[in-house]
Structure 1
Amino acid sequence: MSVTTSSGATMATPSESDDEEVSLECLAIARSEYDNPGITKAAFDEQGDVSLLVGAPGANDQAIYTVCSRTLSRASPLLDTLLRSSKADRQLDGGWIVRLPYDDPQSIRIILNIVHGRFRDVPDSMALGSLHQLCISLDKYHIAECLGPWAKNWCQTARRLGPYAVRGHAQVAWVAYVLGNKSMLQEATQILLRETSPWELVEGDEHLLPLYLAGILDNIKKQQIESLQSLVKLMHDTWSDCVANCSSGRGCLVSSDSERKVCTAAVAGSLTASLHKRELLPSSKPIPLEEYTLADFVDIARNITGEIVQGCNRWGADHRKCGPAEKVLKAIELAEESFVPILSMAQLERLKEQAERIGVEY
């Protein structure tokens, strides 16, 4: 079974098989499991008519929440469908129990507090991991309209808790996407684009999966590879030009033919040594671009350019501006200006619609 989230992604739930329904299945469960004293129980409505058994069977945080089915149906179209389809499973002395084995109990608890009007029990801030998990549940159940009082504080909390590693920035990006915060999403994805390598953005990582399903990380990895390829091409083209200029002396600014040829040969030699030292010389062996971050490769390119300048300086003041260093630095600066994460029109429209649904302006 699969679930279409509010972000438009289709998520297949874990342990899917022909013989077993998944996280949204509605079943009557054994009374012995329901009466297990080790399971946390909480009532969100004194007249509640349905119990949600949330969490993996046997897990320490598994919980049973007694709720009002009508309240849930009004809060979420997906929960409304879930409850309607589960009515045939009412058993066990008239009790109505619905299993949500793949949902996070704490996130569901926060959602239930919100939709049942128990606002004092809704946290204004929480750890990033908890907020990320909550936003997964909010997206899964298409819940937005009731989040206005907390959305800004949650976003501020996520920003304030940094700096983060790769997973942290990915979690911040997902929180921003679910809560419709465009500027926050752009900030987080900008960091992911510049400061993570394509190799680090592993598709199977549970912290990154929501962003892959939303199509955001695919775009970032594509931009990373294309930008890295462009920088490598810049260095290779510069090297080819320097080697070609050795015989003519082109690129040296002094008037003496002999000095020009010596200068251009020195520049070519310096650049060759710099590229060889970093295993970036053109060859049949592919450069492992997936291991580089854009920020690191820009630093490498600038250092190589600095080594060219040092080589020219050795020949005296007249040669300080010889060689391709100035041209390469300008090209690097121009390339850096393009290091901006690209969000699709659909993603931008989704952010706008989500902010409007929540009723918040960031």
Structure 2
Amino acid sequence: MSKTEVSHKATQFTRYCIDDDGDLLLRVGSELAKETPFEFKVCSAAMRRASPVWKSMLFGPWNEAKPAQGDWIVYLPEDEPWPIRVILAIAHGAFEQVPKSISLSKLDCILIPIEKYDLIHIIRPWADTWVETVKNPKSNRISELTGSEHVMRINAAWELGCEDVVSAEITEFVFNLSVTSRKETYRYYYNHQQIEFDTHFGPCDLVEIVTELRLSLIQALLDFYHEVVKSRIPSESACLRSGWNLANERQLCDAVVLGGIWRYSKGSMPEILPEKATEYRESANELMRTLSNMFAGLPTLNVFHEGCSPAKKYSDFEEKTRQDERWKNVLRPHHKERMATQRKKTGL
């Protein structure tokens, strides 16, 4: 295959021949600043057979249809050349140009135009191998993925129909996503790294679902915390010691616990915990760590009041909360239906 530099309308394209007998020049990536744009010589019939979107684009009443005279040139200015080249190789039967193994980032790049042009069915021979990349990125070290890689993973899993991965990633975001807002503009962070959710790729309601579940989880944790505080006020002692002559001791027990909470809040927290989840910006896991450290380090009045500490009660509550089915059964019927359709197309 030959490569030569050609110029068209002040843009330099690297020429790449997919089909020597091709009748169409596909110019890709001219609007991507970090990419070298390519011109692919391809067979329009192969593209038509591969994609219903391409069929409509090339053989419908659109500007991309074959001109009455002159070269047939079609522009895909916003698409990245490398994934388009791989897709064109598949469509033209040049399977030796298709990678057998692939990184998560490269797979994500390929699946974006595959979704855009409705091409998922053509990757059937590679589906099993590529799904393994989604299920086991970085040699099973899921915990080492960055926030951006988690976004790539859920997007790829969504396109390939991996329900277990999509579900696990939604749960991961529910527990680990932090949020800031300014003038109704929200920014999302994973382990303090800002991430962006692609509204055109992956589950369209991902942000809404994660936000809803995250707020529910955080609200449950905040409710526990404020219940502990309120239970220590003079009229509602939470001290477990009982007896007609222990009223003062019970008050002292509550005061010691409240004092410990106040001291921890002033010394180890940037701000007092709010009552509403919408006012809490950190992740649910960060809130769990805060509450666990706070309650575990609380002083007690004496050895007879060790059971009055909320530490054990919180530990049990956190474990039960983590296992709550609300954060595990996160997929809606329309999610499962769509991913089942994807698996049918790829033969998974």
Q: TM-score normalised by the shorter chain: which range applies?
A: 0.7 to 0.9
What whole-Å deviation, never above 9, does each CA across 1:79-125 have from its counterpart, x for those lacking one?
11111134775449532111111111111111111111111110123
* Partner Cα separation in structure 2 for residue 336 and residue 58 of structure 1: 43
**Greater CA deviation, 45-54 or 258-267?**
258-267
Q: Does 1:53 align with 2:41?
A: no
Q: Does 1:196 align with 2:177?
A: yes
Tell me the residue number matched to 2:347: 359
* Partner Cα separation in structure 2 for residue 174 and residue 281 of structure 1: 36
Q: CA deviation at 1:40?
A: 1.8
Amino acid aligned to 2:293: N
SS in 2 for 1:252: coil
Q: CA deviation at 1:218?
A: 2.1
**Greater CA deviation, 187-196 or 85-94?**
85-94
Q: Does 1:160 align with 2:146?
A: no
Amino acid aligned to 1:240: K
Q: CA deviation at 1:58?
A: 8.2
Kindly report which structure 2 residues correspond to 1:69-80, keeping only aligned pairs within 5 A, or say none: 69-80=44-55
User: Larger % of strand: which?
Assistant: 2
SS in 1 for 2:75: strand
Q: CA deviation at 1:326?
A: 2.8
Question: Per the alignment, do residues 71 and 136 of structure 1 end up closer, same or farther by CA in structure 2, a change over 3 Å counting?
Answer: same
Q: Does 1:263 align with 2:253?
A: yes
SS in 2 for 1:123: coil
Q: CA deviation at 1:306?
A: 0.7
| Uncovered stretches (5+) of structure 1, i.e. residues with no partner | 1-30
Q: Does 1:65 align with 2:47?
A: no
SS in 2 for 1:224: helix
CA contact (8 A) 1:198 1:225 kept: no
| Uncovered stretches (5+) of structure 2, i.e. residues with no partner | 1-5, 181-186
Q: Hey, which bits of structure 1, 4+ residues long, moved more than 6 A? A: 282-287
* Partner Cα separation in structure 2 for residue 286 and residue 58 of structure 1: 40
What whole-Å deviation, never above 9, does each CA across 1:181-222 have from its counterpart, x for those lacking one?
1122223333222222134527x9666444576211221122
Pick one of 224, 232, 236 that aligns with 1:242: 232
Pick one of 106, 109, 119 that aligns with 1:130: 106
* Partner Cα separation in structure 2 for residue 249 and residue 207 of structure 1: 47
SS in 2 for 1:48: coil
Provide TM-score, normalisation by structure 1: 0.78
Q: CA deviation at 1:39?
A: 1.9
Amino acid aligned to 1:47: D
Question: Per the alignment, do residues 94 and 209 of structure 1 end up closer, same or farther by CA in structure 2, a change over 3 Å counting?
Answer: same
Tell me the residue number matched to 1:96: 72
**Greater CA deviation, 111-120 or 40-49?**
40-49
CA contact (8 A) 2:58 2:64 kept: no
Instruction: Give the paired residue count.
Output: 321
* Partner Cα separation in structure 2 for residue 130 and residue 33 of structure 1: 29
CA contact (8 A) 1:166 1:196 kept: no
Q: CA deviation at 1:265?
A: 2.3
CA contact (8 A) 1:170 1:192 kept: no
Question: Per the alignment, do residues 280 and 70 of structure 1 end up closer, same or farther by CA in structure 2, a change over 3 Å counting?
Answer: same
Q: Does 1:252 align with 2:229?
A: no
* Partner Cα separation in structure 2 for residue 319 and residue 35 of structure 1: 81
Pick one of 59, 73, 78 that aligns with 1:84: 59
